[in-house]
Amino acid sequence: MFLRLIICNTVKCLKFLCSTDKTVFLLGDFNLPDADWEYYHGPDNVVYNSLLDFINSYGFTQFVRHPTRDNHILDLVLCTSDSIIKDIDMLPPIGVSDHNVVLFSPNVSPTVAPVTESVCEIYNWKNADYEALTCYLNSVNWNQVFQICFNVEECWNAFTDVLYEAVNLFVPKSI
């Protein structure tokens, strides 16, 4: 039952991340050793059914075609565009890793943003409303903020998002 909850929450987060009109990449060790990536099919269980249904329903293409650990394709390069990957190679593991390195090149051209004159704003900490800032941060439900974080980087990003929001609310800016 716990595994079902973890998978459902994971898929819910992935669906949220994919609710965009932009091209989406999902990369990493999905640990689905029995998945058939030619037919996007796997064993009939909650893990495979949930993840493969998500991958299929969002139109992802899986680009890795050679084993990344032993005889299994565990490390995936998934993308909502089937033409965005131009090269994909497998390299030997780095260091003590037991997974091959997946090296790929996206078929995209960098865009250069137009140069505009910028105005440098700085926070005016002297006139900050420290009482309101403290009250705001004390009222944050941190358990709720961190409940969808699965690693340290996600926790840090969630924390700093709240902190920046508070600072922008209660610390005026000066030019």
Q: pTM value? A: 0.61
Q: What is the pLDDT of residue 108?
A: 81
Nearest CA-CA partner of 66 in 96, 28, 100? 100
Q: Shortest CA distance to 19 belongs to which of 75, 51, 58, 62?
A: 58
Q: What is the mean pLDDT of the chain?
A: 89
pLDDT at 100: 95
pLDDT tens readout for residues 76-105: 999 999 898 888 999 999 999 999 999 999
Query: Any idea where the domains of the chain sit in the sequence?
Result: 9-106, 122-174
